[in-house]
A and B are shown apart, each in its own frame.
Chain A
Amino acid sequence: MLFGMKVASIRLSPAFLLLSASLCVAAQADDAVSYQREVAPILTKRCYACHGPDQAESSLALDSFANATAETDSGEPAILPGDADGSELIRRIASDEEWERMPPEGEPLTADEIAILRKWIDSGAKYEKHWAFEPLQDVEPPAVEDAAWARNDIDRFVLAKLEAKGLAPAPEADRRTLARRLYYDLIGLPPTPAEVEAFVRDDRPDAYERLVDALLASPHHGEKWARHWLDVVRYGETNSFERDGAKPNAWKYRDYVIQSLNDDKPYDQFIREQLAGDELESPTKDSIIATGYYRLGIWDDEPADKLQAKYDEIDNLVSTTSQGFLGLTVGCARCHDHKIDPIPQTDYYGMVALFADVKPYGVRGDEETNSQWDLSPPDLKQRRDGLLGQRRAMLEETETLEQQAIARMSGRDQRRTETSKREQVLKEKLAEHQTEAERSRYLDLQNQIADLNRQLDALPAADLALALASCEPHPETTHVMLRGNPHVPGDEVTPRFPEIFEEAEPTIGHAPDHARSAGRRRVLADWIASPENRLTGRVIANRVWQHHFGRGIVRSANNFGQLGTPPTHPELLDWLAGWLVEHEWRLKPLHRLIVTSSAYRMSSAPNAAAAAIDPANDLFWRFDLRRLTAEEVRDSALAVSGELKLLVGGPSVYPKLSDEVLHTQSVPGLGWDTTPTAAEAAKRRSVYIHIKRSLIPPELANFDFPETDNSCEARFNTVQAAQALSLMHGGFLQEQAQALATRAVAEGPADRQGRVKYALRLVLQREPDAEMVSDSLQLIDRYQTGHGLSADAAFDQFCLMAMNLSEFVYLD
């Protein structure tokens, strides 16, 4: 999940962790204990489950000063401010007696944790409101000693913290490294050797900024950054469950995201379009397509409990929306008040009420009415809707007539009508089981339907989009559901925003009689997109930062609550959020600001002394090395082999899947275009691959493509043998290695050494060093002399080796 977190922390060997723990304590000796960063995480994670806002066992709750210092069942308060030694809390957590030691479950608190709580109590046990629930702070960049290092204000925030710990930022990376970093971070593709060369030789003072601007203007920028957003909105193009059926036109939403990012659409508009694109003053084709947001989740077409399924669908919206836009896990309050964060159950159902006009994705047999919006011109649409309505009624009547007759057939035939043999059975046996009147009506219907089909075929094709095609303008009253059970409604709830925002309850009038929707989502969208919203700006600024530095300032990018990870640079985060709002919520200037900072240009070179002080690189003393994402690995292979087709947008593509993979399906190949033409057409960027939830291509899955059914804040970053097998033996890489070999032969010098260098240059975007070239030449020799390979085959194998180099899949 936590991509950034993983990248940063994966490098921590346990030895380092021990070291850092002891150093932390030493460093804190002179500092005051921070409630937010040090105390609150201990209380929330270790105490609140039994002594928190939700539960107060033995009449003790540690969630506020008043509660923590109040008398408990034992007659004593848990905390005596200013007196740790006299506080029952300290006695109980430090006790050696297992029967009285708190917490009763799990490991005891560590000596360091106990020391933190002691110091906090001794200094008065002051509580502070959780940082993320406070309004944005108006912060000034701090003063720094090495003012020359700071290219912009970001650098002042970063450097001030480094200087406070006696750390110096890593030197600037070389130009070749910076070029590669910028290409991957801004467009997700490797530069060509010529592009690197051009940048290295560009001696204009603003060469770097020019490259940044060019990349931000590239149509491929949207392709790269859209994928980050698609992770957040749990983008999938099928419904999961038994049939895992396709969601037609989902790709138009994906293209909408790509286009919005390429156009640098203000983020507040981007929010409004997705949440309420159908309720804007003047909806556009784009804003309608944007409401596909609501239709991307999983959907059970055959639910055992329809009401439960309906609430599960809304739950997915509440969870995705609150995490994605607000960094809040409101979904946790579905069954009871949130145990840790101040999110009561009424907040959850208040959000449910805001989504009350969203109808289910569909019903089995009709996935169009609620989810496919015809964007054709109005007159055409009216015409088609009329014909479709007539046809639907006739098809229903036909079906009823058929079922009446089927009920009179033998059991065996009844069973056959549920299989692919249905048409055949109907053809052979329907007539004999129908009355004369039934028969004549049936035939009449068939003729009329045929006629309607002819009329429909004569019309231009519908311009359908996956969207909120039909809404409930006057939804029923929403209730709190006791223990989250939709069959046990409790008190009524009106549409409202979570309490922690301290906002007045929104006034939402009754929608006019002929309204198509309830107008509630627009209110929600406007509130989330408001510059005053405490979390929206922070959350998106953090995501932008996250995908440049490999981790967010808040590592838990979907959870800014008390169970999330505290920000490493809270002032910087608030400053960035404020800056973004001031710059009309446009993301491209923010990207530019970040990547032109000195902080971003640091080298990733190791530094043992710095690592000893800050092993997780919390302070950004260097740039973190990262593995390429699943998409970047695949796209890079296609790019260096010369096979990549750089078309932007359009329906999704179907890369070749092996028979083994297809045979995990109950019907191998169902829902996947397995033709060679499709495989050829799929040599495009991975963002265009059809996302079938039960059939994720191994090239993506092995490299930590996210779970598709819920919002993903940050991807895992694993190292697995399956990755090695996929890159060494997988059909895709085999093919790309061969294409690379063919390309090097066609484009490179005629001699072997020249070809080797040419191929390595394509793969690594740099001049290969002599050792690498000589190792490669020796390998090719052994292939030929020791293993009997032809010169061509040996070169193919060498190219495969080259595409397995760590340098190819890691970015400095």
Chain B
Amino acid sequence: MQRNFCGRTRREFLWQTGGGFGAAALAGMLGADGFFPKTASASSSPVPAIAPKAKSVIFLFMYGGPSHIDTFDYKPGMVGMDNKTIAVDTFGRGGKKNEGRIVEPRWKFKQYGECGKWVSDLFPHVGGCVDDIAFLHSMTAESPIHGSAMLMMNSGKLLSGSPAMGSWVHYGLGTGNKDLPAFVVMLDPSGGPISGAKNWSSGYMPAEHQGCVFRHEGAPILDLARPEGVSREMQRDTLDTLAKINGRHLTAHGGDDTLAARIASYELAFKMQMSAPEAVELAQESQATLDAYGVGQKPTHHFGTQCLLARRLVERDVRFIQVYSGGAHNDANWDAHGDLVKNHTKHAAETDQPIAALLKDLKQRGLLDETLVVWGGEFGRQPTAEYAEGTGRDHNAYGFTMWMAGGGIKGGVSVGTTDEIGSRAVDRPLTVKEMHATVLTQLGLDPNHLSYFYNGLDQKLVGVEGAEPIREVIA
């Protein structure tokens, strides 16, 4: 990448001159006022090297690690093996083991769609969408421990300090909207995931690339709500006076760009107070839509609302939306160490219907073609029991399932396999970096060229060694 703007790439330059959150709006306002020529708007970022298929990404993050063999990776050969002790290499939080007691998948599988995909009874609604889904059955991760595996799935590195995928997308494509964040994160009501904000950090990139936590109750964005007793009209008055005085300060400084951007940023903040609540205002949705997502019903209300919001944000050109299923610790997320049935029943029941509703809703509105939906956790789970008794499964980074739909992804296909008990990927093992490369490619970003100069190196989401997209799933 060429760097001529004082040693930075053109994109870095744009971001630092206010090209982040609401950059188009900032640049637009400045342009209108004659401070910036129009060329400085974020939309003039270099044309992506690849023709983009997707405009937005919705990453449904199943935090804790759902069990692949109980959901989408059908293992009929395991039926009847329950409680048998077999030789198998596993590596989880309990360390490395070479034998274990089989826990047979606890749900029945059925075939769905024209492709005849086998899906467990945990996901009957998603089962109805399999012809739009590409399953990645041979995912592998570099760590079977939540902390580092979460960072890997979100930022491509086992260590904290690097930008999240959403930050990379924002950096690479700029923001697509005028008055909303480009990278939105929605959390589970039980709390954030472990490592909290590290999971959506912009790392070594400027802070405007970091994920913005969005809530559907109260003000959606931190500090968006006016304090009690301050009406919109009153704030308008304040801002007018502020702009008047700051305008004189600007003139005295020869129309300095940062000071001009600062004045514009107050106007943007004012506009966002309308646009962000509007984005989360579900009153405009029909009852049928609300019902489809399970809004207002137990146990789907929360995740369903977030899926619906994800669609509304996609409609408003938000680039990257991450929705967490599961938060906090233990069984508040998919981390089924104890009672597998209880744990997965709960989390699947919260998410199955909303996920299917999202896919169908996007499709019906013609948005699925340009919206890439990704489903998965930081790893999968072992075929064997963690303890002497019970059904709990430990973590499994040797093989697990993720899936993608929309955004130029082939439907009704499955790539890779795990062995007959799902203990590890055998055919076409896939890495997290390849998954990341696929996401970037679908957005029109060349994963091996999207780079950011830091610490003396051209850093990439897919690492200095690079990674290729998973061609088999690209339509």
> In residues 649-707 of chain A, which contact B (Cβ within 8 Å)?
658, 660-661, 663-668, 693-696, 698, 701-702, 704-705, 707
Residue of B nearest to A304 (CB): B143
Q: A10-B16, A240-B195, A728-B269 are in contact. Are A627 and B160 (CB under 8 A)?
A: no
Taken residue by residue from 44 to 65, chain A's Cβ proximity to chain B (1 for < 8 Å, 0 otherwise) reads as 0110000000000000000000
**B residues near A782, Cβ cutoff 8 Å:** 237
Residue of A nearest to B49 (CB): A105
- A75 to B165: give the CA distance in the assembly, Å: 45
Verify A312–B388 contact, CB threshold 8 A: no
- A559 to B231: give the CA distance in the assembly, Å: 50
| Interface SS majority for chain A | loop
- A412 to B387: give the CA distance in the assembly, Å: 9
Q: A10-B16, A240-B195 are in contact. Are A667 and B329 (CB under 8 A)?
A: yes
Could you say which of B239-247, B294-302, B309-317, B432-440 contacts chain A? B239-247
**B residues near A340, Cβ cutoff 8 Å:** 456
Taken residue by residue from 261 to 293, chain B's Cβ proximity to chain A (1 for < 8 Å, 0 otherwise) reads as 111011011001000000000000000000000
Verify B223–A725 contact, CB threshold 8 A: yes
Pick the contact of B5: A17, A323, A556, A708 (CB < 8 A).
A17
Pick the contact of B265: A611, A707, A721, A793 (CB < 8 A).
A721
Pick the contact of B262: A240, A663, A806 (CB < 8 A).
A806
- A643 to B249: give the CA distance in the assembly, Å: 27
Pick the contact of B455: A304, A332, A605, A702 (CB < 8 A).
A332
Taken residue by residue from 241 to 259, chain B's Cβ proximity to chain A (1 for < 8 Å, 0 otherwise) reads as 1101110111001111111
Verify A331–B455 contact, CB threshold 8 A: yes
Q: A10-B17, A412-B338, A666-B329 are in contact. Are A616 and B241 (CB under 8 A)?
A: no
Q: Shortest Cβ distance from B195 into chain A, in angstroms?
A: 5
- A321 to B34: give the CA distance in the assembly, Å: 46
- A243 to B193: give the CA distance in the assembly, Å: 11
Could you say which of B66-74, B197-205, B351-359 contacts chain A? B197-205
Pick the contact of B6: A616, A772, A797 (CB < 8 A).
A616
Verify B258–A627 contact, CB threshold 8 A: yes
- A45 to B26: give the CA distance in the assembly, Å: 31
A612 within 8 A of B: no
Could you say which of A202-210, A520-528, A710-718 contacts chain B? A710-718
**A residues near B1, Cβ cutoff 8 Å:** 106
Residue of B nearest to A800 (CB): B238
- A637 to B456: give the CA distance in the assembly, Å: 37
Could you say which of A354-362, A413-421, A505-513, A583-591 contacts chain B? A413-421
- A412 to B385: give the CA distance in the assembly, Å: 12
**A residues near B238, Cβ cutoff 8 Å:** 779, 797, 800-801
B416 within 8 A of A: no
Pick the contact of B242: A2, A412, A563, A805 (CB < 8 A).
A805
Verify B249–A693 contact, CB threshold 8 A: no
Of the listed residues B250, B387, B388, the one surrounded by the most CB atoms of chain A closer than 10 A to its CB is: B387
Pick the contact of A242: B142, B194, B206, B244 (CB < 8 A).
B194
Pick the contact of A797: B36, B230, B328, B449 (CB < 8 A).
B230
Residue of B nearest to A704 (CB): B207
Could you say which of A250-258, A295-303, A378-386, A436-444 contacts chain B? A295-303
Q: Shortest Cβ distance from B377 into chain A, in angstroms?
A: 15
**A residues near B203, Cβ cutoff 8 Å:** 707, 709
Q: Shortest Cβ distance from B223 into chain A, in angstroms?
A: 4
Q: Shortest Cβ distance from B164 into chain A, in angstroms?
A: 12
Pick the contact of B20: A564, A720, A797 (CB < 8 A).
A720
Residue of A nearest to B190 (CB): A666
B78 within 8 A of A: no
Q: Shortest Cβ distance from A396 into chain B, in angstroms?
A: 18
Could you say which of B105-113, B115-123, B389-397 contacts chain A? B389-397
Residue of B nearest to A45 (CB): B3
> In residues 713-746 of chain A, which contact B (Cβ within 8 Å)?
716-726, 728-730, 734
Verify B17–A722 contact, CB threshold 8 A: no
Verify A709–B161 contact, CB threshold 8 A: yes
Residue of A nearest to B221 (CB): A725
A604 within 8 A of B: yes
B148 within 8 A of A: yes
Verify B204–A719 contact, CB threshold 8 A: no
- A2 to B13: give the CA distance in the assembly, Å: 12
Pick the contact of A1: B35, B387, B392, B454 (CB < 8 A).
B454
Residue of A nearest to B456 (CB): A329
Verify A415–B258 contact, CB threshold 8 A: no
Q: A660-B213, A716-B16 are in contact. Are A804 and B242 (CB under 8 A)?
A: yes
Q: Shortest Cβ distance from A756 into chain B, in angstroms?
A: 12
Verify B196–A666 contact, CB threshold 8 A: yes
Verify B191–A666 contact, CB threshold 8 A: yes
**A residues near B221, Cβ cutoff 8 Å:** 725
B side interface size, CB within 8 A? 117
Taken residue by residue from 133 to 152, chain B's Cβ proximity to chain A (1 for < 8 Å, 0 otherwise) reads as 00000000011111111110
Pick the contact of B197: A308, A696, A710 (CB < 8 A).
A696
Verify A329–B457 contact, CB threshold 8 A: yes
**B residues near A110, Cβ cutoff 8 Å:** 4
B84 within 8 A of A: no
A489 within 8 A of B: no
- A45 to B208: give the CA distance in the assembly, Å: 27
- A2 to B40: give the CA distance in the assembly, Å: 21
Verify B387–A414 contact, CB threshold 8 A: yes
Verify B237–A779 contact, CB threshold 8 A: yes
B229 within 8 A of A: yes
A464 within 8 A of B: no
Q: A240-B160, A244-B195, A801-B241 are in contact. Are A722 and B21 (CB under 8 A)?
A: yes
B330 within 8 A of A: yes
Pick the contact of B245: A11, A797, A805 (CB < 8 A).
A805
**A residues near B474, Cβ cutoff 8 Å:** none
Residue of A nearest to B141 (CB): A304
Verify B159–A312 contact, CB threshold 8 A: yes
**A residues near B142, Cβ cutoff 8 Å:** 304
- A625 to B254: give the CA distance in the assembly, Å: 12
**B residues near A728, Cβ cutoff 8 Å:** 223, 235, 266, 269
Verify B2–A718 contact, CB threshold 8 A: no
Verify A565–B6 contact, CB threshold 8 A: yes
- A419 to B337: give the CA distance in the assembly, Å: 11
**A residues near B230, Cβ cutoff 8 Å:** 797
- A305 to B253: give the CA distance in the assembly, Å: 55
**A residues near B244, Cβ cutoff 8 Å:** 775
**B residues near A625, Cβ cutoff 8 Å:** 253, 256, 258-259
Q: Shortest Cβ distance from B35 into chain A, in angstroms?
A: 8
**B residues near A331, Cβ cutoff 8 Å:** 455-456
Verify B207–A716 contact, CB threshold 8 A: yes
A771 within 8 A of B: yes
Verify B269–A783 contact, CB threshold 8 A: no
Q: A312-B159, A718-B206, A806-B259 are in contact. Are A783 and B392 (CB under 8 A)?
A: no
Known contacts A300-B159, A664-B187, A701-B207, then 7 further A-B pairs from the complex at CB < 8 Å, ordered by chain A residue: A329-B455, A411-B392, A660-B222, A666-B196, A698-B223, A719-B258, A719-B262
Measured CB to CB, the residues of A under 8 A from B are 1-2, 5-6, 8-15, 17, 45-46, 105-107, 110, 240-244, 298, 300, 302-305, 308, 312, 319, 323, 329, 331-332, 335, 338, 340-341, 407, 410-412, 414-415, 418-419, 555-556, 558-559, 561, 563-565, 604-608, 611, 616, 625, 627, 658, 660-661, 663-668, 693-696, 698, 701-702, 704-705, 707-710, 716-726, 728-730, 734, 771-772, 775-776, 778-779, 782-783, 786-787, 789, 793, 797, 800-801, 804-807, 810
30 interchain pairs, CB-CB under 8 A: A9-B8, A14-B36, A45-B2, A46-B2, A106-B1, A106-B2, A304-B158, A411-B392, A412-B389, A415-B392, A555-B7, A606-B254, A625-B258, A666-B191, A701-B207, A710-B455, A717-B258, A719-B262, A720-B207, A724-B269, A726-B223, A728-B269, A729-B224, A734-B227, A775-B241, A778-B241, A783-B237, A787-B233, A787-B237, A806-B263
The 6 tightest CB contacts between A and B, nearest first, are A606-B254, A329-B456, A411-B390, A411-B389, A709-B161, A242-B147
